[in-house]
Amino acid sequence: MQVAPIDPEISADITKFDQMLAEHLAGRVDEDGFRVFRLNNGIYGQRQGGHNQMVRVKVPYGTVTADQLEVLGDIADRYSRGWGHLTTRQNVQFHFVQLEKVSALLRELAAVGLTTREACGDTVRNVMACHLAGACPVEVLDVSPWAEATFRHFLRHPYAQRLPRKFKINFSGCVRDCGQAMCNDVGVVAVSRLRPSGSVETGFRVFLGGGLGANPHPSQALEDFTAREHLLATIEAVLRTFDHYGNRDNKLRARLKWVVDELGIAEVRRRVLRERRLLVASASWPGGIPRIVTELGDAPAGTGEHVTPVGMPVTLRSGVDQDPYQRWRLANVVTGVATGTLSAICRVRLGDVTAEQFRALARIVRDLGADVRITNRQNLALRGLRSEQLPDLHRRLEAIAMAEPSAELAGDVVSCPGADTCNLAVTQSRGLADDIGRALDAAGLADVGGVRINVSGCTNSCGQHHVADLGFHGVERRARGRSAPGYQLLVGGHLGDTEAHFGQRVLRLPARTAAEATVRLVGRFAEEREPGETFAVWVQRVGGAKALAGDLRDLDVWPDPTDNPDYYVDFGETGPYSAEVGEGECAAS
């Protein structure tokens, strides 16, 4: 591994962290001030208290190199629990890092160009994009260089430091919205329009004011079309408007979505467009097409919206006896039509990558000359592959338990960290996700396509349960005079066609029966779906959430604790359930 000189700005960040930590430990910087400082540097306190920290590594649009993968493996071994966690926002997190060791960890990241700066806190968070951007057969533009330009522009930007609340930016290369632009503060979707001359102009449609959390809001369009040369200025104008008018007194109503609620979308549009028009007078005006976009180019990998994607998620139930390699290739491999390259999705259970898996992936990437993106479903996409490389890739992924053909299918359940480490979670969401995955495997339903299952440990939707086909969020239940772990089930959430639809509430269930409810619903959908029918459409056709609730009511039964004590103990726990909620630092509180 060749180590490049450390970026001077990253080095300066680490030096300041050293100084602030020393001042804090000496009692000269109070807890409140130091908390804001460390959050802005991506360091988040865990529910275990003391000096246990979560370190969030900022990975712009999920792009990670072989050298970085290798260092992430070393960090997992030396500073954490032997594994790292891929998030739904394309970051990498390490838990149980001791505060006194954070600076050393930051230096190892800096040696390969990674930073934690503004990965947490009231800042511009990690800039996201479709994991297949530049390799997708149906994209309008490759949004990768645009995401890179946005990341560079706002990192350490004066307006991005002490915002009313966190600010999230997301890119999608087409209206399929695989990047999930429609539930962010700013969502950017590549589109095209006809000029009066009859030629086609590619650009963007910018959406604003979206967000999940306990009160999800869909993003709303700023204008019909934003030209490429105006995109960065438009995003900065939205950010400045949020900074000017966001609520700094009530943390629970501080996101941009509440500004839209209070002022109305028409007034917010007026203020943003006025800000953009006058931004030319600012020293930070990012006018024109960014240099990085010109250098890298943003031509699409595909040939247009009429191409049928090759290898997009399909149901594999009819091929139970197929060769494992053929099943994997059918489900996990995507072809970029114009470029002729292939992308393969590596299944990462619960988003957890061990130190040895990180290192093995680094070797694979170097040997095959691939590039890697973290997906928003906590998997890894290996891109730029050739067809003849696939058998060897499959064999090597099998050796590190990353070749399951159900990546992005029903059995690939997404989960937030939950009560394992988060102060706000009331349930062990990772335990439920694992239980659901095992139940679907046992029922032969893990390979069903068109069903995405997400689990959050509380209402704040870090597991993105609101936009899943089947979503669960943790709740405390009271049964037979005792507290018990439970989940609210939602159905029918989805993103696409520049719209966001949030799941409908079905019913609350004991944690121990949520997996059985999932098996019933996925099995029924697999049997009853019509050709091309989505899960959300099927839900409406069979009577909606109310009808499904009636079919599952028998699962909302609480046995006597002496007969079945498991109902009163959360997954992975040994003692009676207790909903212990602390003060949130970095989640949606």
Mean per-residue pLDDT, 245-252: 94
Which residue has better confidence, 2 or 273? 273
Judged against a pLDDT cut of 90, whether residue 584 lies above it is answered with: no
Mean per-residue pLDDT, 221-231: 97
Instruction: Tell me if 298 sits within 8 A of 146, measured CB to CB.
Output: yes
275 and 339 together in one domain: no
Instruction: Tell me if 171 sits within 8 A of 181, measured CB to CB.
Output: yes
Instruction: Tell me if 491 sits within 8 A of 548, measured CB to CB.
Output: yes
Position 121 in a domain? no
39 and 167 together in one domain: no
Judged against a pLDDT cut of 60, whether residue 274 lies above it is answered with: yes
What's the token pair of residue 161?
């430091």
258 and 163 together in one domain: yes
Judged against a pLDDT cut of 60, whether residue 459 lies above it is answered with: yes
The CA distance from 274 to 354, in Å, is 49
Between β-strands 504-510 and 470-479, what pairing exists: parallel, antiparallel or unpaired?
A: unpaired
Judged against a pLDDT cut of 50, whether residue 254 lies above it is answered with: yes
Secondary structure of residue 282 in the 3-state scheme: coil
pLDDT digits (tens, 9 = 90+) for 400-442: 999 998 888 999 999 998 888 888 889 999 999 999 999 999 9
Strands (E), 416-531: 453-456, 470-479, 482-491, 494-496, 499-501, 504-510
Quickly state the pLDDT bin for 13 (edges 50, 70, 90): very high
Instruction: Tell me if 102 sits within 8 A of 55, measured CB to CB.
Output: yes
The DSSP secondary-structure symbol of 576 reads -
384 and 522 together in one domain: no
Which residues, in sequence order, are bridge partners of residue 382? 344, 372
Which residues, in sequence order, are bridge partners of residue 54? 44
258 and 375 together in one domain: no
| Order of strands, sheet of 92-98, starting from the edge strand that comes earlier in the sequence | 43-45, 52-57, 92-98, 83-86, 352-354
DSSP H or E stretch at residue 577: none
270 and 364 together in one domain: no
Mean per-residue pLDDT, 454-466: 94
What's the token pair of residue 536?
């959300």
Whether this model's pTM surpasses 0.85: yes
Judged against a pLDDT cut of 60, whether residue 477 lies above it is answered with: yes
Instruction: Tell me if 330 sits within 8 A of 354, measured CB to CB.
Output: no
257 and 330 together in one domain: no
Mean per-residue pLDDT, 318-332: 78
Between β-strands 83-86 and 352-354, what pairing exists: parallel, antiparallel or unpaired?
A: antiparallel
Judged against a pLDDT cut of 70, whether residue 550 lies above it is answered with: yes
Number of domain units in the chain: 4
Exposed, middle or buried, 537 (CB in 10 Å: 0-12/13-18/19+)? middle
172 and 274 together in one domain: yes
| CA distance to 319, 393, 553, per residue, from 397 (Å) | 21, 6, 41
pLDDT digits (tens, 9 = 90+) for 350-360: 999 999 999 99
**440 lies in which domain range?**
414-568
Judged against a pLDDT cut of 60, whether residue 213 lies above it is answered with: yes
Exposed, middle or buried, 66 (CB in 10 Å: 0-12/13-18/19+)? buried
Report which residue type is found at 100.
E
- The residue among 262, 296, 330 that closes a domain is 296
Percent share of the chain, pLDDT over 70: 94
The mean of the pLDDT values for the chain is 92
Mean per-residue pLDDT, 384-404: 96
170 and 212 together in one domain: yes
Secondary structure of residue 22 in the 3-state scheme: helix
Region of poorest pLDDT, from 34-48, 231-245, 542-556: 34-48
Judged against a pLDDT cut of 90, whether residue 312 lies above it is answered with: no
Which residues, in sequence order, are bridge partners of residue 217? 211
Judged against a pLDDT cut of 90, whether residue 578 lies above it is answered with: no
Q: Which residues of 385-423 are buried (b: 16+ CB within 10 A; e: fewer)?
A: beeebbeebbebbeebebbbbbbbbbbbbbbbbbbbbbb
Alpha-helical regions (H) of 533-576: 535-541, 544-552
Judged against a pLDDT cut of 70, whether residue 567 lies above it is answered with: yes
The CA distance from 171 to 458, in Å, is 27
Please name which of 179, 185, 199 lies closest in space to residue 60, comparing C-alpha atoms: 179
The CA distance from 292 to 202, in Å, is 18
- pLDDT, position 313: 44
The CATH number of the domain where 64 resides is what? 3.90.480.20
- pLDDT, position 588: 37
Position 100 in a domain? yes
DSSP H or E stretch at residue 542: none
Between β-strands 169-172 and 128-129, what pairing exists: parallel, antiparallel or unpaired?
A: parallel
The CA distance from 207 to 231, in Å, is 12
Start-to-end CA span in the chain (Å): 41
152 and 187 together in one domain: yes
Mean per-residue pLDDT, 341-345: 91
Judged against a pLDDT cut of 60, whether residue 321 lies above it is answered with: no
Position 238 in a domain? yes
Percent share of the chain, pLDDT over 90: 82
Instruction: Tell me if 272 sits within 8 A of 237, measured CB to CB.
Output: yes
Position 580 in a domain? no
Position 200 in a domain? yes
Judged against a pLDDT cut of 60, whether residue 474 lies above it is answered with: yes
- The residue among 92, 110, 128 that closes a domain is 110
pLDDT digits (tens, 9 = 90+) for 143-160: 999 999 999 999 999 999
214 and 237 together in one domain: yes
Instruction: Tell me if 114 sits within 8 A of 68, measured CB to CB.
Output: yes
Position 388 in a domain? yes
Quickly state the pLDDT bin for 30 (edges 50, 70, 90): very high
Region of poorest pLDDT, from 10-24, 83-97, 298-312: 298-312
The CATH number of the domain where 499 resides is what? 3.30.413.10
Percentages of the chain per state (helix, strand, coil), in multiples of 5:
40, 20, 40
The DSSP secondary-structure symbol of 167 reads B
391 and 448 together in one domain: no
Instruction: Tell me if 341 sits within 8 A of 389, measured CB to CB.
Output: no
